[in-house]
Amino acid sequence: METILVVNAGSSSLKFQVFAISGSQDLDCLVRGQIDGVGMRPRLRAAAGDGAALIDKAFESNEIPDLEAAIFEAGAWLRETQKVDLVAVGHRVVHGGPDFVNPVRVDRDIIARLRRYISLAPLHQPHNLAPMRALLERRPGLPQVACFDTSFHRGHGALADHYALPLRFYEEGVRRYGFHGLSYEYVAERLRQIAPAVANGRVIVAHLGSGASMCAIAGGRSVESTLGFTALDGLPMGTRPGQIDPGVVLYLIMEKGMSPGAVQDMLYRECGLKGLSGVSNDVRELEASADPKAVFALDYFAYRVGLNAGMLAAAMGGLDGFVFTAGIGENSPTMRARIVQRLAWLGITLDAEANRERRTVISASESRVPVYVVPTNEELMIARHTLETLSKQDAFCSTKEKTAD
């Protein structure tokens, strides 16, 4: 069976999924897995599409020292034990900069251009590109497609896309890009199936995971995002502060003598829920903690989601639907309830039982705006884009035969 491999590479982990291309061009997830602890205590875990465990294997650190080794280890395991016939690879790439509006077939030139955006997403971009480059060198005939977290937001109007800086910086690429676009695109498509009239209207989607943002989607298109130039803006996240006065950064550098690198490290790794609570970056642990600082961090998170919802509703001139998605949004009824309390002024009320049971619609019947929980699936979106991008290229059909292994 012909399959597409979807790769989502982080700093020390490589997540992957394999999708079968069936005759009707539907995509079914066959395997999902990850290699964690790359270079430290590597461990390969994978399960079948139905959740049945397939492997849980620990490695020595030198057996999988980097992401390049991780992609080959995952590939070898898939080939040898799962008999996967790989015809293409789709990669999640956090930053497409000002140039990349659509997914793109990867070659050397594309990788060189994407490397320019490393400084815009230092925690993600280099890791996203590492397995891509390794595969291009070792398997040049295997088609690869880069799918960007920024693409869905590239249609923003000029007002949403600018900072009030001298215009030359905009020309250089200092723009409000927005991220989590693959997730928003998937959720917008799902909402069209669940509630077509709402999906055609003005919707806020809250992607609340270890990275968190919100997107204003009008008529199915992103019009505003809480994230901007980098993935630091907007909502507080697991370890990132969200919106912050740039004067604080100046203070840290000029008054506290912190180096720019140390400030960057702190902003990406030590802030957000972790920094506020001093307990954890994980909402599960915060919800289980009796520490008042943990409770404060959760309240703070809900407060900022509420503030940003007001901003996004203003961007659209109203609100017809609100959607929760990603790790916290899909799995924490308590956090959803805290947030909906903050949205009461919009006429939004919750059905407590529907919320507890994580039904698709969790608002009360009298709620002026319906509220949904829609599980995201960025990997499926990447697989679809990969197939679409390659299907547009005549060469793909003949390549499929050549690269099958």
Q: How far is the CB of 332 from ligand AMP (least distance, A)?
A: 4
Whether the Cβ atoms of residue 46 and residue 65 lie closer than 8 Å to each other: no
**Three-state DSSP state, 292:** helix
Q: Give the Cα-Cα-Cα angle 118, 102, 402 (nearest 5 degrees).
A: 95
Q: Which two tokens stand for residue 262?
A: 């140390």
Q: Which is nearer to ligand AMP, 96 or 209 (CB)?
A: 209
Q: Which is nearer to ligand AMP, 51 or 141 (CB)?
A: 51
Alpha carbon 206 to its chain centroid, in Å, reads 12
Residue whose CB is nearest to ligand AMP in the complex, by number:
327
- For 58, the enclosing helix (H) or strand (E) is strand 53-58
State yes or no: residue 326 binds ligand AMP (CB under 6 A): yes
- Please select the residue that binds ligand AMP; options are 57, 115, 284, 402, rule is CB under 6 A: 284
Counting residues that bind ligand AMP (by CB under 6 A) gives 12
State yes or no: residue 328 binds ligand AMP (CB under 6 A): yes
- Please select the residue that binds ligand AMP; options are 42, 131, 209, 228, rule is CB under 6 A: 209
Q: How far is the CB of 24 from ligand AMP (least distance, A)?
A: 30
Q: Give the Cα-Cα-Cα angle 375, 44, 82 (nearest 5 degrees).
A: 85
Site residues for ligand AMP, 93-122, by CB under 6 A, read: none
Q: Which two tokens stand for residue 176?
A: 């409000």
Which sequence positions are flagged as catalytic? 149
Report DSSP letters for 249-284, one per residue: HHHHHHTS---HHHHHHHHHHT-HHHHHHSS-S-HH
State yes or no: residue 289 binds ligand AMP (CB under 6 A): no
Q: Which is nearer to ligand AMP, 2 or 330 (CB)?
A: 330
Report DSSP letters for 107-158, one per residue: -HHHHHHHHTTGGGSTTTHHHHHHHHHHHHHH-TTS-EEEEESSGGGTT--H
Whether the Cβ atoms of residue 386 and residue 380 lie closer than 8 Å to each other: no
State yes or no: residue 283 binds ligand AMP (CB under 6 A): yes
Whether the Cβ atoms of residue 233 and residue 227 lie closer than 8 Å to each other: yes
Site residues for ligand AMP, 233-272, by CB under 6 A, read: 238
State yes or no: residue 339 binds ligand AMP (CB under 6 A): no
Which stretch in 26-34, 116-124, 246-254, 283-291 sits in contact with ligand AMP by CB under 6 A? 283-291
Q: How far is the CB of 240 from ligand AMP (least distance, A)?
A: 12
State yes or no: residue 181 binds ligand AMP (CB under 6 A): no
Q: Which is nearer to ligand AMP, 110 or 298 (CB)?
A: 298
Q: Which residue ranges make up the site for ligand AMP (CB under 6 A)?
A: 209-210, 238, 282-284, 287, 326-328, 331-332
